[in-house]
Structure 1
Amino acid sequence: MRAIDWILLWSLSLLWGGSFLFNELALAGLPPVSIVWGRVALAAVLLVLAARLSGQGMPPRRVWGALAVMGVLNNLVPFSLFVLAQGQITGALASVLNATTPLFTVLVAHLATQDERLSPMKAAGVGLGFAGVLAMMAGEDLGGALPAMLACLVAALFYALAGVWGRRFRRAGVTPLQTAAGLVTASTVMLTPIWLALDRPWALPWPGAVPVAAVLGLAWLSTALAYLIYFRILARAGATAISLVTFLIPFSAAGLGWLVLDERLEARHLAGLALILGGLALIERTRGR
């Protein structure tokens, strides 16, 4: 990759890593459903505008059902689980658990596709990665952080399911920008009645400037702008290059958490991260071959 591609890749890792920091800041004044609704609704405004200004427009009607499923898998469930989990654990730890997404993707792709089967090298990578998860969970109190860590793993599984489900949009002739705009729009439509019923936003007190700014950051930086950079890297450097961002997000999230919130990862969390990244390295080596 060229220097500009690496700059874009690190920028994307900062934007996605920053979502964990934004979640923590938003939780100081807003309930979880309001945070997720704000993230998808405000991102939809920018991405729909970008799709129309680019001349691509919105996705055709025939794919909106599939986009609704994608919205549940890629936005509603994982976004909500991460926000809920971060009421109990740090964003740095949540980002490490998020790095298991490619491990789950290998397993889901093996079961759901014919062209991405599980090889011995991939199986070794998955095993090494989940050994890292077990290392991080060792000694956790069942009534403490463990449920939150499990929620992060379920969220990572949903991201993996979304990755396999999303393959259909390219075959259907839907551009990545159309997919992103349709995805957040469908998510907003589905979440709005739940948000109104559960949070009754008209009755919520003013959350303060910091939580509001954090939701704006989630929507416009970690979602809308991140999608646009993602598509540019994908077009310039390909899918293998974009997969490297998985290695960078935990470091970006941990660095931002340390800089802004004085968060620290424990030794077992760092050991688990090393095992997860080792597993991902084995999987990427197989892809390279």
Structure 2
Amino acid sequence: MSRRGWVLFVAMSVIWGVPYLLIKVAVDEVSPVVVVFVRCVVGAALLLPWVLARGQVRPALRHWRALLVFTALEMTAPWLLLSYAEVTLSSSLTGLLVASVPFVAALAARLLGDEERLTPVRLAGMGLGVLGIAALLGFDVEGIALLPVLAVVLVVLGYGTAPLVASRALGDVPGVAVSAIALVLTAVVYAPFAVPRWEQVTTASTQALGSLAALGVVCTGVALVLFFALIREVGPQRALVITFVNPAVAVLAGVLLLDEPFTLGLAVGLPLVLLGCVLATRRNAPAPAPVESPVP
């Protein structure tokens, strides 16, 4: 990987590891629906002018059905569910639960006819991931409410299937255009619920406002641009390796900045989930080329 590739990789590993921390801070003062609305408005304000200037909106809207499905699975439902879950769950636990996305993605791809088979190594990775999540919930189950955990499960399902929609139905649409339109659509959906609660933003503390701003500017607008730059630099397979590092960043940020406890469940579950992700999403070795018989 080039130096530019490493810089982008490290940046994305950190940037998409801290949203859990920022959401946790924001929802202490602002309702989840307002958090999602502000994040989308800020992100769209950064990306939409760029997309409009390049004339990418109209071609993208030709795929409006796939755009709606992608938006619902990737942003509209997951971001609200994440914000709701973090009212109760720690940012560390939320980040680690979301680390199970690669398992869902691998299984969904297989069910939809992905040519890449589930090898014993990938199956073992999924098994380790399940054990890691069981350790998280088993050791730290005290005080954990069921509904927030189920909300994160739905987030994982959305995050795991949305890329399949993008790759199969939106492959010829620039990624930044897809992201900008999805942000606008999600903001429109939540506007009727967020605008009447806007007083929460005007009366929020500097810390909460800073978290909202960072969530919209850095973790949404800037992050989406950097992510597509990373894909161009190193390819989609290597770019997705950031999903192995994001949970570790989320755990460290929660423990160091929010004084969240580093529990036995985190100590056991973290390495299992990360190792499981690496193995479960490992690329299969190419099949050996058939040897032609020298006999005609």
What TM-score results when the alignment is normalised by the length of structure 2? 0.88
Is the deviation greater in 222-231 or in 262-271? 262-271
1:129 aligns with 2:123: no
Larger CA deviation: 98-107 vs 117-126? 117-126
1:247 alignment partner, one of 244, 249, 256: 244
2:215 aligns to what?
218
* Aligned-CA RMSD value: 2.1
Instruction: Return the offset for 1:141.
Output: 4.6
Whether the 8 Å CA contact 2:93–2:136 is kept in 1: the answer is no
Change (3 A) 1:274 1:141: closer
Task: Give 1:25's aligned residue.
Answer: 25
Pair 1:288–1:281, CA change in 2 (3 A): farther
1:50: Cα distance to partner? 2.2
Specify the alignment match of 2:112 in structure 1.
Answer: 112
Structure 2 distance, partners of 1:14, 1:264, is 20
Matched, 1:192 2:191: yes
Residue 77 of structure 1: how far off its partner (Å): 1.4
Write the letter of the residue equivalent to 2:96.
V
Cα 1:125–1:212, aligned 2, differ >3 Å: closer, same or farther? same
Whole-angstrom CA distance in 1 between matches of 2:109 and 2:216: 29
Q: Which residue of 1 aligns with 2:80?
A: 80
Superposed, 1:130-209 pairs within 5 Å as 130-141=130-141, 144-171=144-171, 173-196=172-195, 200-202=196-198, 204=200, 206-209=203-206
For residues 233 and 168 of structure 1, do their structure 2 counterparts lie closer, same or farther at Cα, with a shift above 3 Å needed?
same
**Structure 2 residue 265 is the aligned partner of structure 1 residue 285:** no
State TM-score, norm by structure 1. 0.90
Shift of 1:152: 1.8
CA distance in 2, matches of 1:169, 1:50: 23
Q: Distance in 2 between matches of 1:97 and 1:139?
A: 14
Separation in structure 2 between the aligned mates of residue 139 and residue 40 of structure 1, nearest angstrom: 36
Greater helix fraction, Structure 1 or Structure 2: 1
Three-state SS of the structure 1 residue aligned to 2:17 is: helix
The separation in 2 between residues aligned to 1:224 and 1:177, in whole angstroms, is 9
Code of the aligned partner of 1:160: G
Question: Are residues 81 and 63 of structure 1, via their aligned partners in 2, closer, same or farther at CA, if it must alter by over 3 Å?
Answer: same
Whole-Å Cα distance in 2 between the matches of residues 151 and 114 of structure 1?
27
Question: Identity over aligned residues, as a percent?
Answer: 27
**How many Å separate the matches in 1 of 2:30 and 2:232?**
37
Which of 250, 255, 258 is the matching residue for 2:255?
A: 258
In the alignment, structure 1 residue 237 sits paired with structure 2 residue 234: yes
Deviation at 1:259, TM superposition (A): 3.1
Residues 238 and 186 of structure 1: CA distance in aligned 2, closer, same or farther (over 3 Å)? same
* Matching of residue 71 in structure 1 with residue 71 in structure 2: yes
- Tell me by how many angstroms 1:136 deviates: 0.9
CA displacement at 1:103 relative to structure 2 = 0.8
Structure 2, unmatched stretches of 5+, are: 287-296
Mapped contact 1:59–1:179 kept (Cα < 8 A): no
**Is contact 2:73–2:161 with CA below 8 Å preserved after alignment?**
yes
Question: Paired residues, what number?
Answer: 284
Unaligned runs of 5+ in 1: none
Partner of 2:188, secondary structure, is helix
